[in-house]
Structure 1
């Protein structure tokens, strides 16, 4: 636990780590207060591209936690960074929610089903059969296929619901094409984070999350400290036989607060 005292930046997952659905975990506000008191930086890093950064800021502020938009980074933002860095055409067919569409338009992309040059798939809570059909038709024509993140399920208070990874599986089953995936745990997410926040020294950065195959896999790939919290998807028994092993296993964020206090 002494390693925590060297951490200057905490990258935090949201669902299952900081809150669940619309319910803030009781240990989250004390964690934020401790970070602010000690002058440590914390950044929310989420694969959930169904909403944009502005939404998450409003949601978290509504829970009584004061943050800025600069403290939220989504797989949607990482995808925008990737597309711009690699000079993808600005005409996209985007399978996503209105919030994700807004984020892409604000970044200068034209969203259209008329002669687009790339297909981008997000976690689309407004998914329709027509959207799927159009995306598959375009991908069969040879358009590049990009997906924001690989999560198969999104946790909710009522139980898991199909996420972007499940939608990828459907499109791949139909077209035979696998997408380029950007979000956690892929290196493109790490690269975008480093570019946005100037993250350089791995020993001073920790990723805190509840999923081995995204949060902790990204920490391992980036060479930063990986902290698994058992407040969400992963249970202690899941560590047995897992290729991804965290540096620390904690019950929840509250244990970090206790250690630093």
Structure 2
């Protein structure tokens, strides 16, 4: 592998199972897939902080230096783990495109709930691996049925992917934190109508007198976004 290889090209090559230029001699005894599977197992059992090149090397019975022959560094290892950990894409059974989008986002949330360590991995590139592309393709299939054209559907799907991931991260980070009711209660001690007029107005509305559920709020936001898509398609507007 050349030192000048573009990082995106390097990721693409390893994500799709090409371990580099062919070499004469016996077949390598270790595969990238085995290394990645070992990394995923460590993350599942002990969290992402336990994953290191040294630890994964020990899991597969190789030296740390030999690991770099297969995977050039931890950052790329994490990217490969992220793609492998998504597993098979969901089968979306709902009939309407909107319902399939909601079904997809719920499946993504469930995946991140099972493997919260995935949210700790920074996405260096848009989806490029077979696992993430398969999930993205399922979402895009539903969005295309809305009537959006190709570029519009791609744009919306990328937004939904990013938003769903970020909401999952917020919910995961907040699992051990005060709930939204307590958050609003704490804010009410510092938010005044003079300094934060819009925030004060929203917090003073009747909606905050009832129990507020984060999942319901997320679903509300998604449905209003999809309402906008329907309106956009109905009036034939562009841009």
TM range (shorter): under 0.3
Computing the radius of gyration over CA atoms, which structure comes out larger, 1 or 2?
2
What TM-score, normalized by structure 1, do the two folds share?
A: 0.25
What TM-score, normalized by structure 2, do the two folds share?
A: 0.26
Q: With a CA cutoff of 8 Å and minimum separation of 6, indicate the structure with the bigger relative contact order.
A: 1
> Greater strand percent: which structure?
1
